[in-house]
Amino acid sequence: MTEQRTVDIHVPVLARVEGEGALELAVRDGTIEKLMLRIYEPPRLFEQFLVGREYHEVPDMVARICGICPVAYQMSAVHAIEQAFGMDIDPWVRDMRRLYYCGEWLESHALHIHMLAVPDFLGYPSVTAMAQDYPAEVRRGLRLQGLGNAIVAALGARSVHPVGARVGGFSRAPTAAEARSLLDRVREALPDAEELVRWTASLELPASDQDFTTVALRHSDEYPMNEGRIVSSAGLDIDIREFDDHFREHQVPHSTALHSRLHDRPYLVGPLARLNLNLDRLPPQVQDLLEDTGLSWPSRNMFHSVVARAVEIHYGCIEAIRLLERYQTPTAPRLEATPRAGVGYGCTEAPRGILWHRYEFDEHGTVVDSRIIPPTSQNQARIEQDLKWTLEAGNLDDDDQELRRLCETVIRNYDPCISCATHFLDLRISRR
Amino acid sequence: MTLHVVGIGSDTGDDQVGWLVANRLGKRRRDVQTFSCRAPMELLGRLPLGAPLLIVDAVRSNRHPPGTVHQLQWPATNRLAAWGQPFTSHGLGLADALSLADQLRLLPSPTLVWGIEIPEPVASPDLSASVLAGVEALLQAVDRDFPTQTP
C-alpha cells in the first residue's frame, strides 16, 4: 500500500497575476483539508469613493480601478448612468464603444497569452526565457497588444487609464484620417490574429474535463460586449437588473474580495464562458477558424481559456475592421446628459468576464450609492473549485515544487485581476 | 546624432519626474526625440529606437535620499532590481520590459536608465522640492554626457 503523504504548501506571493494574493493548501492523509485562495491586497473602497461625486466624474474615477481593463469599468459605468438618466445613445457612439472594447480585449488578452499563461504551458519561468526560443511568437504578441493599445488611445486619448469615455459618448471623435490609419493597422494584424488562434490550439495543454456553470452576456444578434442579458449554461436568462435575485456576494475570512455565487454555487465568467455561450454569435470567419483548430466547443477544459482569448483577439480584429470600414465622423461625439434621480445598471464583458455596476443618483446627478462586482471576485470560488478538482485528479503526490507550479498554472489560467477584485499568491502547503 | 529619451510615469506627484525630464530635454534641445509612457511594457510597442536611448523613471529604493540621481547602462538587471520592487501592474516592471526587449534584440546600444529617487508618494499634483533638484542635476548630467553637437 502506498503511504499517503500529508502536505502543507504555502505560496506566499503569486507571480504573473495582477495584485497580491496567496494560496494555502493543507493535505492530511491524502485528502485536501484546507484550500484557500487568500486575497490580502487591502480593500480599496472604490464604491465609497464614488458616493457624493457627480455623475460625470464616475467614468474617469472607475478607470483608475484597473490598469489592464479600464475600458470595461468605464463602459459598465456609462451604461448604468445612461440607464438611470433615461438616455438613448446614438448608433455612432454604440459602434465606437464596441471598437473601444475590441482594443481592450486585444491589449489584455495578448498580454495574458504571451506574458502570463503560455510560459506555463511551454515550461518557461517567464516570457523573457520563452522569448529565447519563441521570439517570433512573442513579437507577434507585442504587435497585437500594441494594436489594442492604439485602438484604446484613439478613443480614450491614452491607453492606460484612458480619459476619453463620457456619459453619452466620447470627449472627441477620431478624424477620418485617424480611422483610416487605424483600419490599415488592424487589417495588417489580421494574419497575426489568425496565426495566434492556430498556435494556441496547437499547444499541448493539460487534459481537464470538469463540470462547471458558465455565465456570460448574450445579445440577440452579436458577440456580447456592452449589451445583452445575463445567461448561464444552467438555463439562467435574466435582465441585468435581476442580478441580485440570483447572484449572492458573501465575505470569506481569508479574502479581502467578496466571493460571488449563482444559486449558491461557484460559476465561471470570462473568455471561455463567453465563447461557450456565444459560439453562434461569432461571424463565419471566426467560426471557420475555430472549427479548423479541431478542438471541440463548447469546451469543459478550463485550459482552453487560452484558445478562447486568441479567438476573441481574432474576433476583435474582424469586428474592428467592420466598424472602421463604415466609420464616419459624427456631428457631435456625445449626447449631453440631463441628470435625474434614479437607479441604473450596467453590465459589460470585461476581458475577464462580466463586470456589473449599479448606481443610485439624486436629482442633481450625485452618486448616492454604488456597487461594483468585478469578474475576479466572481471567479474566486470557481478557482478554488478548479484547484481542488485538479489536485484530486491524481496530483497530490507530486513534490511541493511541482504542486506549487501546478497550482499557479491553474490560477493564472483565469487571468485573475486581484487589484480589481480586492480585493492575490502566497502558496502555503501543509503535508502531515 | 539624435538622443532618444523615454519618460516613464504619470502626470501627478513625484511619479511625473520621468515625463518632466523628457519634456524639458525635448524643449531645450533640438537633437532630442522624446515620448512618455505610463507602464514600462508600453515601451516595447515603441521599439526599436535609435541610439543612444535614455530611459528616465522614478525610483523608490528607500536607501538613498529623495532627489538622488541613479544611472546605469543596460544590461544591468541586478542593479536595476536593487532599485526596488516595481510599482506596476502584473509585476511587469522596467527590468522585465528591458530584459524582454534585449532578448528580442530590440534595444539599441547604448541604452541608459536614469532614475531619480522619490520620497514616499503623497496625494499631490506637484513634485517635491528634493525631486525637482534631482531633475536639474539629471538635466545637467545629460548635457555633460551627451553634449549637443554643432554641425
Over residues B104-133, mean pLDDT: 91
Cβ distance A225 to A351 under 8 Å? Answer: no
Query: Is B123 within 8 Å of chain A by CB?
Result: no
DSSP-assigned letters across all residues of A332-353: -SBPPP---SEEEEEEEEETTE
Residues whose CB is less than 8 angstroms from the CB of residue A66 and which lie 6 or more positions away in sequence, other chains included: A18, A72, A73, A417, A419, A420
Is A396 a residue whose pLDDT tops 90? no
Nearest-CA neighbor of A205 among A134, A305, A104, A353?
A: A305
Contact residues on chain A for B92, CB-CB shorter than 8 A: 115
Is A247 a residue whose pLDDT tops 90? yes
Q: Name the region of A206 (left: φ>0; alpha: ψ -120 to 50; beta: rest).
A: beta
pLDDT on residue A72: 96
Residues whose CB is less than 8 angstroms from the CB of residue B46 and which lie 6 or more positions away in sequence, other chains included: B6, B35, B37
Is A187 a residue whose pLDDT tops 60? yes
- Per-residue pLDDT band for A424 (boundaries 50, 70, 90) equals very low
Query: Is A84 within 8 Å of chain B by CB?
Result: no
Over residues A149-157, mean pLDDT: 95
Q: How far is CA A113 from CA A141, A268, A345, B137, in A?
A: 8, 19, 31, 41
Residue of chain B whose Cα is closest to the Cα of A66: B89
Q: Give chain A's mean pLDDT.
A: 90
pTM of the model: 0.89
pLDDT: is A269 or A3 the higher one?
A269
Distance from CA of A113 to the nearest CA of B (A): 13
Give me the long-range contacts of A399-406 (CB less than 8 A, separation at least 24): A400/A7, A400/A9, A400/A429, A400/A431, A403/A7, A403/A9, A403/A25, A403/A427, A403/A429, A404/A9, A404/A11, A404/A429, A405/A120
For cell 477544459, name the residue.
Answer: A301
In the Cβ-directed half-sphere of B67, how many Cα atoms lie within 13 Å? 10
Q: Which helix (H) or strand (E) holds A10?
A: strand A7-11
DSSP-assigned letters across all residues of B22-57: HHHHHHH-TTEEEEEESSHHHHHTT----SSEEEEE
**Rounded Cα gap, residues A247 and A365, in angstroms:** 28
Query: Is A158 within 8 Å of chain B by CB?
Result: yes
pLDDT on residue A2: 43
In tens, the pLDDT along A21-46 reads: 788 888 888 788 888 887 765 556 78
Residue of chain B whose Cα is closest to the Cα of A147: B45
Contact residues on chain B for A162, CB-CB shorter than 8 A: none
Q: Which helix (H) or strand (E) holds A356?
A: strand A353-361
Beta-strand pair A169-170/A7-11: unpaired
Query: Is A146 within 8 Å of chain B by CB?
Result: yes
Question: Would the CB atoms of A139 and B104 count as touching at under 8 Å?
Answer: yes
Residue type at A220 in one-letter notation: S
Distance from CA of B130 to the nearest CA of A (A): 28
Question: Would the CB atoms of B90 and A116 count as touching at under 8 Å?
Answer: yes
pLDDT on residue A67: 76
- Pick the residue of A65, A124, A142, A161 with the most B CBs within 10 A to test the interface with B by mutation: A142
Provide φ and ψ at A238, rounded to 5°: -130, 160
- Per-residue pLDDT band for B62 (boundaries 50, 70, 90) equals confident
Query: Is B103 within 8 Å of chain A by CB?
Result: yes
Share of chain A above pLDDT 90, in %: 71
pLDDT on residue A232: 98
Question: Would the CB atoms of A131 and B100 count as touching at under 8 Å?
Answer: yes
pLDDT on residue A425: 47
The count of CB pairs under 8 A between chains A and B is 51
* Domain B3-145 coded CATH 3.40.50.1450: yes
Residues whose CB is less than 8 angstroms from the CB of residue A7 and which lie 6 or more positions away in sequence, other chains included: A25, A26, A27, A396, A400, A403, A429, A430, A431, A432
Q: Which set of grid coordinates corresponds to residue A221? A: 444578434
In tens, the pLDDT along A328-359 reads: 999 999 999 999 999 999 999 999 999 999 99
- Pick the residue of A128, A417, A418 with the most B CBs within 10 A to test the interface with B by mutation: A128
**Rounded Cα gap, residues A322 and A326, in angstroms:** 7
Q: How far is CA B79 from CA A225, A229, B61, B83, B138, in A?
A: 44, 52, 11, 7, 19
What is the rounded radius of gyration, in angstroms, for the C-alpha atoms of chain B? 14
Distance from CA of A330 to the nearest CA of B (A): 30
**End-to-end Cα distance, chain B:** 10
C-alpha dihedral sign at A126, B98, A425, B82: positive
Distance from CA of B38 to the nearest CA of A (A): 7
- The neighbouring-strand residues paired with B69 are B116
For cell 494594436, name the residue.
Answer: A147
- Per-residue pLDDT band for B67 (boundaries 50, 70, 90) equals very high
Instruction: Report the residue from A68, A138, A149 with minimal CB separation from B89.
Output: A68
Cis ω before A91 (30° cut-off from 0): no
In tens, the pLDDT along A371-380 reads: 999 898 899 8
Distance from CA of A259 to the nearest CA of B (A): 22
Contact residues on chain B for A159, CB-CB shorter than 8 A: 38, 42
**Rounded Cα gap, residues A259 and A207, in angstroms:** 27
pLDDT on residue A64: 86
A-facing residues of B in 8-47 (CB < 8 A) are: 37-39, 41-42, 44-45
**Rounded Cα gap, residues A403 and A391, in angstroms:** 8
pLDDT on residue B86: 58
Instruction: Report the residue from B42, B45, B100 with minimal CB separation from A127.
Output: B100
Is B40 a residue whose pLDDT tops 80? yes
Weakest-pLDDT range from A51-65, A198-212, B90-104, B120-134: B90-104
Instruction: Report the residue from B37, B89, B100 with minimal CB separation from A128.
Output: B100
In tens, the pLDDT along B71-100 reads: 988 887 556 665 555 555 555 688 888 989
**Rounded Cα gap, residues A154 and A181, in angstroms:** 11
Instruction: Report the residue from A111, A132, A159 with minimal CB separation from B103.
Output: A132
- The neighbouring-strand residues paired with A39 are A21, A255
pLDDT: is B64 or A9 the higher one?
B64
Q: Which set of grid coordinates corresponds to residue A67? A: 490598469
Count of beta carbons in the 10 Å neighbourhood of residue A296:
9
Cis ω before A375 (30° cut-off from 0): no
Structural domain spans, chain B: 3-145
pLDDT on residue B90: 53
- The neighbouring-strand residues paired with A367 are A361
pLDDT: is B67 or A42 the higher one?
B67
Query: Is B77 within 8 Å of chain A by CB?
Result: no
Residue of chain A whose Cα is closest to the Cα of B89: A18
Residues whose CB is less than 8 angstroms from the CB of residue A213 and which lie 6 or more positions away in sequence, other chains included: A232, A233, A234, A262, A265, A266, A267, A268
Is A428 a residue whose pLDDT tops 70? no
What one-character DSSP code corresponds to residue A280? Answer: G
What one-character DSSP code corresponds to residue A116? Answer: I
Q: Give chain B's mean pLDDT.
A: 87
pLDDT: is B95 or B6 the higher one?
B6
